[in-house]
């Protein structure tokens, strides 16, 4: 996919060109060139891993701002349930819903409520005939993009339902439009409060196709700080949150799949673990599973790069927040899946790793890569700017770098040069004082 | 005429969790060569099943994958016990895997049948007490 709009950006002035992000990027999308990181946008899946690991805070998530509210007559906030886990000592979600009003939003529609609907529809979908199992959750946009890049065969295992954020956006927009028939759609601003940059890309690239109803994506972090200011007032708000246990559970790994009410599920998190699971399903392992929940972030959505709290602490807080809530108050009366909940966007194989569109040329390049790799030290140190020696060989063959960037080989050459020069100097010296022995020293190499 | 490319992998017999690593690496190489997803999947499943077999029955072995302009050839060689009755081993559901291996979810007796199913040709050379070499080919067009 060309011209993909990413939501991870680099502040060159802060980047020291260290190899931390280079080594952690799951798609090998990063190279260090001219002393700083470069992201190959064809390969970046917006997982946010580089943002999380950067020791110099040079990587940032690009997202909209609360100030963008002024562009709309009416605004709706869609808080992801991960937001609720950010606050210490929060006893009631109503404080957050109330606070979002004080921050300036006219309406609030909780993503957790839509998540409960999606859970009900997932159960219906799993019961249908002819469904390719295991069904893979469509909620994490990093995973769906990963499947498009590397696991094209699994594309028809992805649940064809819109993720909860999109269903929340549709319902919230419709409700706002009903309340304000005088407004045109562009005057209503639907703001997703997202824990991760991947949701920003999902919206900016229109992955929901015509069904995209989200106008702006703002970060849980920005909203957290804005809420801290207004929530201090201490007034006890009315009961405005309607999320239940299942909806809030979606913020942490296992929440979505336990709501399937079926033991044949798997839930994994962390992008590397998810890739391993996908590799195995791709090889037709796990054939007795019905449902697979994969979250690119450790801990689930609470682990997103646009959050504040430690994901496991946030998860523990959510656990106590949801303990006394009803199980699933937003479950639809019947499980029939309405048409608007189906996704238009298909996942396509984009062949982003192909060396050349000409097979013969690709074969020639591959041979060259193999032979160059065999001569490299194989320690994958990253000093050359590529994550592995093999990736370095590929970059050489693609003329994107030079073989002399390998510091290990250069060090060996340097030592050889020094040694040769030392012997030359030695033989000159000995040769000048004891001419008869000069030839003997030389013959030793 | 284009050149052929060969990839060699050692399949470690000690470790079940590493079984399948070679097929993952081959998938990556085939993607780089621009091979279609359908072919990549067939090669990968055949190779994965073969790797698991070598780990279960033969304490590992080696895998050589050669890509030509016409096909992908996979040669799996081991120095295991050999297969006493190939036609029996080819039957779906037949397995000699021990119970402790079945407990790990392997040994369903689908390895060899799947390898045959996903490839265009498969030849088995086996000698009791010496080892087994399986050659599989998947046509590119």
* pLDDT tens, residue by residue, A278-292: 998 888 776 689 999
Asked if pLDDT for residue A93 goes beyond 60, the answer is yes
B19 → chain A, closest CA residue: A280
| C-alpha distance from residue B113 to each of A78, A238, A334, B26, B40 (Å) | 51, 64, 44, 21, 18
Take residue B62 and report the two structure tokens written for it: 């080696």
Task: Report residues of chain B scoring pLDDT below 70.
Answer: 1-2, 17, 104-105
User: CA angle B102-B107-B113, nearest 5°?
Assistant: 165
- Assigned CATH topology for domain B5-139: Heat Shock Protein 90 (3.30.565)
> What are the tens digits of pLDDT across the range A365-383?
999 999 999 999 999 999 9
**How many angstroms separate the CA of residue B114 from the nearest CA in chain A?**
10
For residues A132 and A292, give the distance between their C-alpha atoms in angstroms, rounded to a whole number.
12
> How much is the average pLDDT of A44-67?
93
> What are the tens digits of pLDDT across the range B32-65?
999 998 899 999 999 999 998 888 888 889 999 9
- Mean model confidence pLDDT for chain A: 90
Phi and psi at residue A199, to the nearest 5°:
-70, -30
Predicted local confidence at residue A244, as pLDDT: 95
> What are the tens digits of pLDDT across the range A392-443?
999 999 999 999 999 999 999 999 999 999 999 999 888 766 555 545 545 4
How many CB atoms sit inside 10 A of residue A416's CB? 10
> What are the tens digits of pLDDT across the range A158-193?
999 999 999 999 999 999 999 999 999 999 999 999
**How many angstroms separate the CA of residue A395 from the nearest CA in chain B?**
13
Domain A8-61 has CATH 3.40.640.10: no
pTM reported for the whole predicted model: 0.87
How many CB atoms sit inside 10 A of residue A386's CB? 27
Q: What share of chain A has pLDDT > 70, as a percent?
A: 94
DSSP class per residue in A47-80: --HHHHH-TT--EEE----GGGGGG-SEEEEEE-
Predicted local confidence at residue A444, as pLDDT: 45
Phi and psi at residue B103, to the nearest 5°:
-65, -25
Q: Give A-chain residues touching B67 at CB under 8 angstroms.
A: 363, 366
Question: Residue A302 burial by CB count (10 A; 0-12/13-18/19+): exposed, middle or buried?
Answer: buried
| C-alpha distance from residue B17 to each of A229, A277, B55, B137 (Å) | 50, 12, 10, 26
For residues A323 and A319, give the distance between their C-alpha atoms in angstroms, rounded to a whole number.
6
Which of B5, B41, B114 comes nearest A282 by C-beta?
Answer: B41
For residues A155 and B37, give the distance between their C-alpha atoms in angstroms, rounded to a whole number.
11
Task: Determine whether the interchain pair A366/B2 forms a contact, defined as Cβ–Cβ distance below 8 Å.
Answer: no
Non-local (6+) Cβ contacts of A391 within 8 A are A28
Which of the residue ranges A207-211, A306-310, A323-327 would you say has the lowest mean pLDDT?
A207-211
Domain spans of chain A, in order of start: 8-61, 66-341, 371-405, 408-443
Task: Determine whether the interchain pair B69/A359 forms a contact, defined as Cβ–Cβ distance below 8 Å.
Answer: yes
Q: Give B-chain residues touching A353 at CB under 8 angstroms.
A: 28, 31-32
Take residue B85 and report the two structure tokens written for it: 């009755």
CA A358 to chain centre: 31
* Residues 82-121 (B) with a CB less than 8 A from some CB of A: 105, 114
ipTM (interface pTM): 0.83
B118 → chain A, closest CA residue: A283
Predicted local confidence at residue A233, as pLDDT: 61
Predicted local confidence at residue A208, as pLDDT: 65
> What are the tens digits of pLDDT across the range A331-355?
998 889 999 999 877 777 777 788 9
Q: What share of chain B has pLDDT > 90, as a percent?
A: 44
Predicted local confidence at residue A205, as pLDDT: 82
Phi and psi at residue A286, to the nearest 5°:
55, 35
By C-alpha distance, which of A204, A229, A226, A166 is closest to A63? Answer: A204
Predicted local confidence at residue A443, as pLDDT: 46
Answer positive or negative: Cα dihedral of A269, A158, A137, A215: positive
Crossing angle (nearest 10°) for helices B21-32 and A271-282 = 90
DSSP annotation of A342: B
Predicted local confidence at residue B13, as pLDDT: 77
Strand, coil or helix: what is B62? strand
Predicted local confidence at residue A435, as pLDDT: 53
Domain spans of chain B, in order of start: 5-139
> How much is the average pLDDT of A134-150?
93
Could you list the beta-strand ranges (E) of A301-348: none
> What are the tens digits of pLDDT across the range A232-249?
766 677 778 999 999 999
Predicted local confidence at residue A434, as pLDDT: 56
């Amino acid at each position: 996919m060309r011209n993909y709009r990413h939501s991870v950006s680099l502040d060159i002035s802060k980047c020291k060109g260290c190899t931390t992000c280079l080594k952690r990027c799951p798609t090998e999308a990063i190279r260090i060139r001219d002393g700083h990181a470069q992201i190959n946008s064809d390969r970046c899946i917006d997982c946010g891993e580089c943002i999380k690991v950067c020791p110099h805070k040079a990587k940032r998530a690009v997202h909209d701002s609360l100030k963008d509210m002024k562009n709309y007559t009416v605004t709706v906030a869609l808080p992801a349930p991960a937001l609720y886990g950010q606050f210490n000592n929060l006893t009631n979600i109503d404080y957050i819903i109330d606070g979002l009003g004080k921050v300036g939003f006219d309406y609030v529609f909780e993503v957790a409520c839509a998540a409960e609907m999606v859970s009900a529809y997932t159960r219906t979908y799993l019961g249908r005939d002819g469904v390719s199992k295991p069904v893979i959750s469509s909620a994490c946009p990093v995973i769906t993009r990963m499947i498009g890049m590397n696991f094209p065969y699994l594309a028809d295992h992805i649940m064809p339902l819109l993720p909860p954020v999109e269903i929340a956006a549709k319902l919230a927009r419709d409700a706002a439009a009903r309340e304000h028939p005088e407004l045109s759609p562009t005057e209503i601003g639907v703001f997703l409060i997202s824990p991760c940059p991947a949701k920003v890309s999902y919206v900016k690239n229109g992955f929901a196709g015509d069904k995209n109803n989200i106008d702006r994506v703002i970060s849980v972090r920005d909203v957290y700080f804005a809420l801290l200011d207004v929530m201090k007032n201490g007034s006890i708000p009315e009961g405005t949150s309607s999320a239940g246990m299942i909806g809030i559970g979606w913020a942490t790994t296992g929440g979505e799949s336990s709501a399937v009410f079926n033991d044949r599920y798997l839930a994994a998190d962390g992008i590397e673990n998810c890739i391993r699971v996908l590799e195995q399903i791709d090889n037709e392992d796990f054939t007795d599973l019905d449902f697979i929940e994969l979250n690119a972030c450790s801990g689930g959505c609470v682990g997103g790069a646009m959050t504040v709290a430690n994901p496991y602490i946030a998860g523990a807080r959510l656990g106590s927040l949801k303990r006394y809530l009803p199980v699933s108050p937003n479950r639809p009366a019947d499980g029939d899946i309405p048409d608007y909940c189906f996704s238009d966007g298909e996942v396509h194989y984009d062949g982003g790793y192909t060396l050349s569109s000409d097979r013969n040329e690709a074969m020639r390049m591959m041979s060259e890569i193999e032979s160059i790799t065999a001569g490299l030290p194989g320690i994958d140190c990253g000093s050359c700017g590529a994550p592995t020696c093999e990736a370095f060989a590929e970059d050489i063959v693609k003329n994107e770098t030079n073989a002399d960037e390998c510091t290990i080989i250069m060090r060996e050459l340097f030592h050889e040069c020094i040694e040769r020069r030392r012997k030359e100097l030695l033989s000159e010296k000995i040769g000048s004082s004891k001419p008869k022995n000069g030839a003997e020293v030389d013959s030793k190499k | 005429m284009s050149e052929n490319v060969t990839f060699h992998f050692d399949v470690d017999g000690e470790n079940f969790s590493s079984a399948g690593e070679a097929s993952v690496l081959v998938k990556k190489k085939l993607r780089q060569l621009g091979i279609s997803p359908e072919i990549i999947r067939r090669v990968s499943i055949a190779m994965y099943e073969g790797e698991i077999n070598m780990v279960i029955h033969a304490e590992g072995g080696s895998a050589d994958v050669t890509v030509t302009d016409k096909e992908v050839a996979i040669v799996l060689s081991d120095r295991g016990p050999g297969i006493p009755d190939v036609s029996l081993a080819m039957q779906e559901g037949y397995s000699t895997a021990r119970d402790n291996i079945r407990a790990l979810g392997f040994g369903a007796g689908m390895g060899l049948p799947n390898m045959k199913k996903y490839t265009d040709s498969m030849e088995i050379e086996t000698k009791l007490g010496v080892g087994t070499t399986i050659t599989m080919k998947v046509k590119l067009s």
